[in-house]
Chain A
Amino acid sequence: MNDALQIQSITGVDVELKIAGPGGRSFAFVVDWHIRLLLALAWYVLGALALIGTLSAEAIPDAGSAFVYVVVLPATALFFLYHPVLEIVMQGRTPGKRMAGIRIVNQAGEVPSVGAILIRNILRLVDSLPGVYAIGLGATVLTEQSVRIGDMAAGTLLVYEDEVHSEDIRHLVSPTVAKMGLENLQLVNDVIDRWEGLDPASRVDLGQRLLARLGHDQPDADADVLAALMRIQQQGTD
């Protein structure tokens, strides 16, 4: 099974994008499903209350066509057009995909065309069979690039996107790099980033060994070790 999509470039510097598997895809879908359901329901409830003042079905015929055009149609459109519209507007992403850190790309790693996005959404009809996306899920488990039938037809796939912004590398513009090297500074950053998730005893031990490697004093207290690491990280940016 391929776990990366290789993007070839005329510069000769190629990039590999990690392909999202059934887990990442399902997570994004579940988030999006809830968002579109809640949006559609909210529109229906608010629209019905504003237009006929009640949620009772008996009052709907009195409202006539207005109820259809103002309440039913927009709510239905919100639910069914959520994916195609947002995937086009957000260039291969949706709020759920953003949360899962994934996006749709074509086989060249580029933003898919409008036609490709529409095709992959029409084929949801097949992927969703027999009602719980069994075919789609089965296809993502069995296919080489973890794609469902709609993606096969459209030539698309989902890849992970690394969310690293310029703020994340600001501290690299510092004398710290010259003093301790890029890789050591990266180690410090990684330990600080993961500090909260580490077991307290292990993180103090890890922090002390890192401080020793960099030639710094090694305090005993958990908070002091973290503070020492953060001082190293921020040396040049203060």
Chain B
Amino acid sequence: MAENQDRLTANWIEKRSSSWQDTEASLDALEDRKPVDTNQALAAIRQYPELARDLALARRAAPNSTLTRHLQRLYTRLHRVIFRKPSSLGRVLARTFSRDAALAANRIRLHIASVTCGFVLAGLAGWWLVSTYPELATLFASEEMIEKVQGGELWTDNLLNIMPSALLSVSIFTNNIVVTLTAVSLGVLYGLGTLYIMGLNGLMLGGIFAFTAQYGLAGRLFEFVAAHGFVELSVISIGGAIGFYIGECIARPGHQGRIESFRRAVSEMSPLIAVCVVFLVGAGLIEGYISPDNRFPLSMRLGIGLAYWMLFVLVLTGPLFRRGDLPSAADSA
């Protein structure tokens, strides 16, 4: 009886082994994500139930054998290939800029407004602190910066003599991207991490402006930030708003579990994060090439800064690529 069973198994392996080899060969091609012809795709679909049956038989004949493990691996690979979602990077990017980022921004518009208000309040608090207690400037500026300002210069003066524009741009946009992503990521701590980051950045900005104002340099500092600052500060506010939204989804997950709610929030906000990162790269290039260059007058800097900011707002509100038919937050919830 057992010998008969072994003979049947041997016959079965012999009969099916060429099919398994074919499956493995076609899987190598299918997993490459290159276009395959219809016959190849249909063959894979045909092989799937056959392989399922073979795996079930192998599990019964020898549950822990190499053959079973091999068939299980082939079956898993085939399953992944057949049920793989179609994706196109170009289409994803186009949808991100034309629709998904605007939807996400619309969903958190109240958070953006609240965080912007908080940021402005923190900035005013920083201004008041340094105006009232000038010695607190050391909290917001390095010793080197303080010495320069006291000498009637800004630390941004002659920046291009210290560092080439390219290096400056790269270091600036890298730093800004890290700050924004950190503000987003720290939302995980129920939004508290984001609160600290936003508060600290607002305080610093206000404090620095107050400090330079004491030496009559605030106007020049504004001139420096005019071209890049609108988008940069907007992105940081939006990063904070995303962080708060994520924190809120974790703190108040509703009928979902916390992890599921967290996953949904991050997934919803990822197009907005992507757009913010792209605009930060642009702002970094402006800050490296235009802001420190004295040949650009304030009017031109303001023009560039506001035009770039308008572009950012148009992408985030929808009308640039779309027909203004974005669903409201309530509709899309």
Which A residues form the contact surface with B (CB < 8 A)? 7, 9, 11-13, 15, 17, 61, 64-65, 67-69, 72-73, 76, 91, 105, 108-111, 113-115, 118-119, 122-123, 125-126, 149, 152-155, 161-166, 168-169, 172-183, 186, 189
Contact = CB atoms under 8 A, between A and B. Distances in A.
B70 A177 contact: no
A178 B6 contact: yes
Q: Name B's interface SS.
A: helix
A122 B84 CA distance: 23
Nearest to A181: B6
A123 B20 CA distance: 40
A180 B6 CA distance: 7
Contacts of B80: 105, 109-111
A161 B74 CA distance: 11
B55 A13 contact: yes
Interface stretch (B111-119, B165-173, B216-224, B303-311): B165-173
Contacts of B21: 166
Contacts of B52: 9, 11-13
Contacts of B79: 7, 9, 15, 109-110
Nearest to B8: A178
A175 B10 contact: yes
A44 B69 CA distance: 44
B167 A68 contact: yes
A114 B266 contact: no
Contacts of A177: 6, 9-10, 13
B270 A119 contact: yes
Contact of A110 (B5, B84, B92, B267): B84
B73 interface: yes
B87 A162 contact: no
A61 B49 CA distance: 64
B170 A115 contact: no
Contacts of B9: 177-178, 181-182
Contacts of B33: 91
B139 interface: no
Q: Give chain B's interface residue range (CB within 8 Å of chain A).
A: 35 or more
Given A109-B79, A119-B270, A165 B24 contact: yes
B70 A15 contact: no
A149 B188 contact: yes
Given A13-B56, A65-B167, A164-B70, 20 more contacts: A7-B79, A11-B49, A15-B79, A17-B76, A64-B164, A67-B167, A72-B170, A109-B76, A109-B80, A114-B87, A114-B89, A154-B263, A155-B263, A174-B10, A178-B9, A178-B10, A181-B2, A181-B9, A186-B65, A186-B67
Contacts of A181: 2, 5-6, 9
B85 interface: yes
Contacts of A68: 164, 166-167, 170
Contacts, number: 154
Contacts of B5: 181
B76 A7 contact: yes
Among the interface residues A115, A125, A177, which one has the most CB atoms of the partner chain B within 10 A? A177
Q: Name A's interface SS.
A: helix
A75 to B, nearest CB: 12
Interface in B1-38: 2, 5-7, 9-11, 13-14, 17, 20-21, 24, 31, 33
Interface in B177-209: 178, 181-182, 184-186, 188
A173 B2 CA distance: 19
Interface in B71-126: 72-73, 75-76, 79-80, 83-85, 87, 89, 92
B64 interface: yes
Contacts of A163: 73
12 contacts: A13-B52, A15-B55, A15-B75, A110-B79, A110-B80, A110-B84, A153-B266, A162-B73, A164-B70, A168-B70, A172-B66, A183-B62
A49 to B, nearest CB: 19
Given A9-B79, A110-B83, A152-B259, A126 B186 contact: yes
Contacts of A169: 17, 20, 66-67, 70
Nearest to B5: A181
A189 B13 contact: no
Ranked 5 nearest A-B pairs via Cβ: A178-B10, A11-B52, A65-B166, A177-B10, A153-B266
B227 interface: no
Given A125-B181, A153-B266, A155-B263, A115 B92 contact: yes
Contacts of B167: 65, 67-68, 72
A119 B267 contact: yes
A113 B87 contact: yes
Contacts of A72: 167, 170
Contacts of A119: 266-267, 270
B248 to A, nearest CB: 15
A208 B61 CA distance: 25
Contacts of A164: 66, 69-70, 73
B267 A115 contact: yes
B48 interface: yes
